[in-house]
Structure 1
Amino acid sequence: MNLYRRILKFARPHQKYIYASLFFNILYSVFQIASLGTILPVLGMLFGSVKMDADLKEPVYDGHISSFFGYLKEYSYYFIQSEVNQRGALTVLAWLCVITAFTFLLRNIFRYFGAYLLIFYRVGVTKDLRSAMYNKVLALPVSFFTEQRKGDMMSRMSNDVGEVENNILGSLVDLINSPFMLISTLVTLFYLSPQLTLFSLIVLPVMGALISVIGKSLKKDSHEAQHELGNIFSIVDETLKSAKIIKIFNAEKLLSKRFTASMTKWINNSVSLGRKKELASPMSEFLGAVTFLIITWYGGKEIIVNHSIRPEDFLVFLGIFFQILPPIKSLSSSISNVQKAEASLVRVMEILDADVRVDEIANPVPIHDLKSEINFRNVGFYYNQDRTIIKNFDLIIGKGKTVALVGQSGSGKTTIANLLARFYDVTEGSIEIDGENIKNLNLKDYRSLLGMVTQESVLFNDSVYNNIAMGKENATQEEVIAAAKIANAHQFIESLPNGYNTNIGDDGNKLSGGQKQRVSIARAVLKNPPIMILDEATSALDTESERYVQDALEKMMENRTSLVIAHRLSTIQKADHIVVMEKGDIIEQGSHNELMAINGTYRKLVELQNFD
């Protein structure tokens, strides 16, 4: 139930549309009964139930509330019979047909407005729900995305939210409106004949029990189907990003088998889900038909044998009883839909409830600049105690100094950069900025001090200008161009078809690797942060591109505090301090000349690369 309260919170800003829709749906329900009430007495007259008697007596109301509806019914018969005697049956029938047509018109107008207003409610709630999910994704730490498949995340934001919209939000008005229609119809039926109405109640407990059983099964199958759909999206996502590798290794058959296996599971779950969903409506219709036949038999017996019910009352009863089936079917379908979509709602809420592990303290300390140093104090980090990544890491980076981390893959270099950027929090020890633990700092303020250039350039499907301008809010054109010049990017940008306004495609795929990296550097230069993190920024480039990028990096790092992770050791020989890491430990540190003199691991790495 807590899940449904949560989704209803998203509905509150749009509740005016719900209330308006319910108002028109209630009017639709009233006119649904009224439209039958205007024609069925005439049908009774035509079938001989209403006698055209010249000596009609107007009924008298005795003043008791309990007899008011009886008086109203008798007076309506009196009025119809009077009109038939005065104007003729065909004239009365024609007028009642016009009145009935008008009530049907009003009924459908109200139905249209009820459905139309519901569109604003559903679209509004869906927009807010997807926006909340997207904003939560922006707020989640990097660690969250190492544990989640992107295809599954896309499935949750598209398919699961769609399920919630169609089956929960779409069923909400029916869940409220159907009981009203059901109750109003039952009251009318009890008024016409309590005995006949009791027969209609026989099917309700049976139907409710059967639908409940089907609904529980629907929930299970729906969860499995949505989970498998997430796997399918993940496979497609991987295929799109790995087209070259798939082709060069002739892995088409392997990927096709994976995709087919996942599709088969999804199809089986979807077929099972659809079969059970479609079973709910025919079952309720069959039970309703059985009830209708029992009522017909019982009503016929009361008319023919006991004479306890008038034929016209029975005709009205049958006509209105037909109207009880749609709300029952609608209610049962809505309950099934809600149960079916509950699995999707759970998957949506898992994102909204995901733990933001990197969070601020209650009153974070503001920070606007680096004054003296960055201090790693006995830092340790692990995902679990059996898998230690960093241990006993001590390092001081003075303001304006460049410190380089080197070592084999898996030595923990990138983890140190991620800890400094506070993508993760340290497990042991602390990282301090000017003596203040970064966990105590205002996270937005702290991140504003940082710039980052990674091995894989992260660019967006937008213009070159907008990709660079992301580094600074409200940046001027002159500032963007100046940053591009420092990054050695201005010349190639000017040669693009539309210059700075050229769209660079998805992930910047219209640019070369060196060009993408220089745009990333320009973005970092524009931000002009006091602390720069470079994570193997040149390792994926060819020699010529590396020369341009390395020159741009050196310009950017002038008078700036920098943490550099380098694969090519030739790029960090000018660093103020070099730290050699192995399996999360510092094994050597010093300047390039000092480390070469030690004749240890660093020298072996340099000689190995020079030999290559």
Structure 2
Amino acid sequence: MNLYRRILRFAAPHQKYIYASLFFNVLYSLFQIASLGTILPVLGMLFGTIKMEDKLVEPIYDGHISHYFNYLKEYSYYYIQSQVNEKGALTVLAWLCLITGFMFLLRNIFRYLGAYLLIFYRVGVTKDLRSAMYNKILALPVSFFTEQRKGDLMSRMSNDVGEVENNILGSLVDLINSPFMLISTLVTLFYLSPQLTLFSLIVLPIMGTLISLIGKSLKKDSHEAQNELGNIFSIVDETLKSTKIIKIFNADKLLSNRFSGSMTKWINNSVSLGRKKELASPTSEFLGALTFLMITWYGGKEIIVNQSIRPEDFLVFLGIFFQILPPIKSLSSSISNVQKGEGSLVRVMDILDADVKVDEIPNPVPISELKDKITFENVGFYYNQEHLILKNFNLEIKKGQTVALVGQSGSGKTTIANLLTRFYDVSEGSINIDGVNIKNLNLKQYRSILGMVTQESVLFNDTVFNNIAMGKENATREEIIEAAKIANAHNFIESLPEGYDTNIGDDGNKLSGGQKQRVSIARAVLKNPPIMILDEATSALDTESERFVQDALEKMMKNRTSLVIAHRLSTIQKANHIVVMEKGEIVEQGSHHDLMEKNGVYRKLVELQNFE
């Protein structure tokens, strides 16, 4: 139930549309009964119970509330009979048909308005729900995305939110409106014939029980189907990003089999889900047909044998009784839909409830610059204590220094960068900026003093200008051009078809690797942070591109505190301090010259790369 309370919170800002829709749906319900009520006199005239009489006696209301509706009915008959005597039966019949038609017109206008206003409510809530998910994704730490498949996240934001909209939000008004329609219709039926109404309601509990049994299994099948759809999206996402590898390794069949297997599971779950969902409607219709036959028999007995009900009353009773079936079907379908949509709602709430592990303390310390130094004190990091990734890491980086981390893959270099940026939090020890633990700093302000260039250039499907401008809010064109010049990117950008306004495609795939990296560097230059982190920024480049990029990096690092993670050791020989790591620990440190003289791990790494 807590899930539904939470989805109702999203509905709260749009409640005016719900109330307006309910108002018009209530009017629709009332006019639905009224439109059938106006047929009574028409049928009375056709069956001959309303006819011309010379002497008419006006009915008198005796004051009892229980007799009021019967008085209204008798008075309406008296009035119509008097009009028949005065104007003729055909004229009165024509007017009654016009009034009945007008009632049906109003009824359907109110029905349309109720449905129309509901569109604004559903679209508004869906927008807010997707926005909340997107903002939560922006707030979640990097660690969350290492454990989640992107295709599954896409499925949750698109398909699961769509299921919530169609099945839960779409059923909300029906869940409120259908009971009202049921009650108002039942009151009318009891007024027409209490005995016939009680007899007719025998089958309704049976119908409700069968539908609820079907609905219980819908939730399980829906959850499994949506999970499998997430797997399908993940496979498609991986395929789109790996087309070259798939083709070169002839992995088409492997991927096709994986996709087909996932599709088969999804189809089986979807077929099971659809079969059970569709079973609800024919079941209720079959029970409705049985009800009709039973009522016809019982009503015929009351007319022919007991003469306790008039033919026109019985026909209207049938008409109104079968008006009770749509709200019953609507209510049962809504309950089934809500149960079906619950699986998707759970998947949506899993994202909204995901733990933001990297969080701020109350009243964090403000920060706007690096004044003195960065210190790592006995830093340790692990996902579980049996597999340490980093241990007893101690390092001091003074303002203006360039410190390089080197070592084999898996030695913990990138983990240091992730901890310094607070993509993850340390498991042991602390990282301090000017003596203040970074956990106590204002996170947004802290990251504003950091810049980062990674091995894989992260660019967006937008113009060169907008990709660089991401480094600084409200940057001028002159500032962006100056940043591009420092990054050795200005010349090649000018040669593009539309210069800085050229769209670079998805992931910047219209640019070469070196060009993409220089655009990334220009973005970091524009931000102009006091602390710069370079995570193997040149390792994926060819020699010529590396020369341009390395020159750009050296310009950028001037008078700046830099942490450089290097794979190619030729790029860090000018660093003030080099830290050599193995299996999460520091094994050597010093300048390039000092480490070469030690003839230790660093020298072996250099020789392996034919540095000299």
What residue in structure 2 maps to residue 19 of structure 1? 19
SS where residue 418 of structure 2 aligns? helix
Distance in 2, matches of 1:319 and 1:607, equals 94
Where 1:323 maps in the other structure, the secondary structure is: helix
The answer for the alignment partner of 2:237 in structure 1 is 237
Structure 2 length-normalised TM: 0.99
8 Å Cα contact 1:534/1:564 also seen in 2: yes
Match of 2:535 in 1: 535
Alpha carbons 1:367, 1:441 under 8 Å: kept: yes
User: Between the two proteins, what is the percent identity of the paired residues?
Assistant: 87
Asked if 1:424 is matched to 2:424, the reply is yes
Identify the residue that residue 553 of structure 1 maps to in structure 2.
553
Instruction: Determine the C-alpha separation between the residues in 2 that align with 1:346 and 1:52.
Output: 67
CA-based RMSD:
1.1
Q: Which amino acid aligns with 2:507?
A: D
Match of 1:57 in 2: 57
Residue in 2 that maps onto 1:98: 98
Q: Following the alignment from structure 1 to structure 2, what is the Cα–Cα distance between the partners of residues 229 and 577?
A: 50
The offset of 1:193, in angstroms, is: 0.9
Equivalent position amino acid for 1:568 in 2: R
Q: Is the 8 A contact 1:53 1:85 kept in 2?
A: yes
Residue in structure 2 matched with residue 577 of structure 1 by the alignment: 577
Contact 1:535 1:565 in 2 (8 A): yes
TM-score between the two structures when normalised by the length of structure 1: 0.99
The corresponding residue for 1:200 is: 200
The one-character-per-residue Cα deviations of 1:256-298 (angstroms, maximum 9, x if unpaired) are 0000110010011001000000001111121122222212211
With 72-81 and 432-441 compared, the bigger mean Cα shift is at 72-81
- Maintained 8 Å contact 1:373/1:397: yes
Structure 2 counterpart of 1:276: 276
Residue pair 2:367, 2:445 contacting (<8 A) in 1 also: yes
* Structure 2 CA distance for aligned equivalents of residues 200 and 218 of structure 1: 29
8 Å Cα contact 2:40-2:313 kept in structure 1: no
Aligned-partner residue type, residue 337 of structure 1: N
CA distance in structure 1 between the aligned counterparts of 2:285 and 2:76, rounded to whole angstroms: 33
Q: Given that residues 469 and 475 in structure 2 are in contact (C-alpha distance below 8 angstroms), is that contact kept between their aligned partners in structure 1?
A: yes
Measure how far apart 1:9 and its partner are.
0.4
Tell me the equivalent position of 1:449.
449
Which position in structure 1 is the counterpart of 2:10? Answer: 10
**Cα shift at 1:331:** 0.6
Shift of 1:532: 0.4
- 8 Å Cα contact 1:185-1:324 kept in structure 2: yes
Please state how far the C-alpha of 1:79 moved relative to its aligned partner. Answer: 1.8
Aligned length: 612
Displacement of 1:611 in angstroms is 7.0
Q: Which residue is 1:46 aligned to?
A: 46
Q: Give the corresponding residue for 1:328.
A: 328
Q: In the alignment, is the contact (CA less than 8 A) between 1:44 and 1:315 conserved in 2?
A: no
**1:286 corresponds to which residue?**
286
Paired residue secondary structure (2:609): helix
Q: Which residue in the other structure is 2:475 paired with?
A: 475
1:81 Cα deviation (Å)?
2.3
Deviations 1:65-93 (A, max 9, x none): 22111111111122222223332322222
Q: How is 1:200-599 mapped onto 2 (pairs within 5 angstroms)?
A: 200-599=200-599
Match of 1:83 in 2: 83
**Cα offset, 1:461, TM superposition:** 0.5
* Structure 1 residue 149: Cα displacement: 0.2
Tell me, yes or no, if the aligned pair for 2:42 and 2:97 is still in contact at 8 Å: no
Counterpart check, 1:607 vs 2:607: yes
Quote the Cα distance in structure 2 between the aligned partners of 1:263 and 1:54: 78
Matches within 5 A, 1:144-155: 144-155=144-155
SS of the equivalent of 2:610 reads helix
Q: Is the 8 A contact 1:460 1:508 kept in 2?
A: yes
Hey, what does 1:132 align to over in structure 2? 132
Deviates more, 1:60-69 or 1:359-368: 60-69
CA offsets per residue over residues 305-349 of structure 1, 9 Å max, x none?
112222222122111111101100111111111110000000000
Query: Using the alignment, how far apart are the partners of 1:185 and 1:558 within structure 2?
Result: 82
Q: Aligned-pair distance for 1:51? A: 4.4
Separation in 2 of the partners of 1:537 and 1:301?
91
* In structure 1, C-alpha distance between the alignment counterparts of 2:421 and 2:487, rounded to whole Å: 22
Moved over 4 A (4+): none
Q: Post-superposition shift, 1:100?
A: 1.2
2:549 aligned partner, one-letter code: V
Distance in 1 separating the partners of 2:498 and 2:516: 16
The amino acid of 1:391's aligned partner reads K
What secondary structure does 1:610 align onto?
Answer: coil
Q: Which shows bigger deviation, 443-452 or 45-54?
A: 45-54
2:461–2:504 contact (8 Å) kept in structure 1: yes
For residue 177 of structure 2, what is the aligned residue in structure 1? Answer: 177
Query: CA contact under 8 A between 2:570 and 2:611: conserved in structure 1?
Result: no
1:40 touches 1:319 (CA, 8 Å); kept in 2?
no
Worse-superposed segment, 191-200 or 360-369:
191-200
CA drift of 1:554 comes to 0.3
Gaps of 5+ in 2: none
